[in-house]
Amino acid sequence: METHEIYELIEARRKELNLSQSQLGMLALGQDNSSVIQAIKRGSSPSAHKLEAICNALGLEFYVGRKRSDGETQSSSNQEGSEVPNDFAFVERFDVSLSAGPGTSGENAKKLAPVAFRLDWMREKRLAPEKCVVCGVRGNSMEPLLFDGDLVLLDRRQTDPRDGQIYGVVDIEGDTRIKRIELIDNGLLLRSENPECRTELRHGEDANRVQIIGSLVWSGHSYDASSQTLISQKPRKSTMNHEWILPR
């Protein structure tokens, strides 16, 4: 396959997922810029490592080995598809942590095992599984709504910010974060749910540099049984008067 064909394939899939080139760079390589994609466009062949990371981020197959026949490829695809329950859809998950406090760079943005969601629920929410992504939450500034270690489902189609909605974003320094966005004249506010955390202003050109990954549509919280402790309480004094009836 020629370099220009690789570029055309990447671009077609990127646009299908409604990702910018910078967002793809962040998800695939932890780089908040389009330099890798632009280099491919200019005819520079990407390394196998970078190409594999890009394919993983886009949900494309990266294969190196003996040439496979069409029948063999189709058989492999059918076999993989038969393992997927018909009433569930699998959404891609990356090990990017959306910071609920100070930003994190997402430098380890590799693909993890997908997360299954019921198809009827996704249809009810009008979500397209292939245009969603699951990420983790890091920090406490979005408590009590989101906690450190939670998983969140983002709708990648929702990239035009609406006032008061919560979004996963790539901030101006390349940090991946999750915040409630409030729109103001010529800018926006990144607001936390935790009242102890400050609201951050992105004004003018800085506001334009904030890239929306997607809007929050679901969150999941897990509990560690070993860390759960009972709060000791003093026995409560009874305030009821009992009349005992004794057998004769």
Domain chopping of the chain, boundaries: 3-64, 88-222
Q: Which of 48, 227, 228, 26 is nearest to 133 (CA)?
A: 26
88-222: CATH number: 2.10.109.10
Question: Do 211 and 131 meet the contact criterion of CB atoms below 8 Å apart?
Answer: no
Q: Tell me the per-residue pLDDT of 134-183, one tens digit each, with 9 for 90 and over.
A: 999 989 999 999 999 899 999 999 999 999 999 999 998 888 899 999 99
In the chain, the amino acid numbered 8 is E
Query: Within 10 A of 68 (CB to CB), how many other CB atoms are there?
Result: 12
- Out of 17-31, 57-71, 120-134, 186-200, pick the least confident: 57-71
**CATH second-level architecture of 3-64?**
Orthogonal Bundle (1.10)
In the chain, the amino acid numbered 151 is L
79: which 2 tokens? 């076999």
Q: Which of 49, 56, 30, 53 is nearest to 133 (CA)?
A: 56
Q: Tell me the per-residue pLDDT of 100-132, one tens digit each, with 9 for 90 and over.
A: 654 444 444 667 888 889 888 988 999 998 899
Q: Is the omega angle on the peptide bond into residue 144 within 30 degrees of 0, that is, cis? A: yes
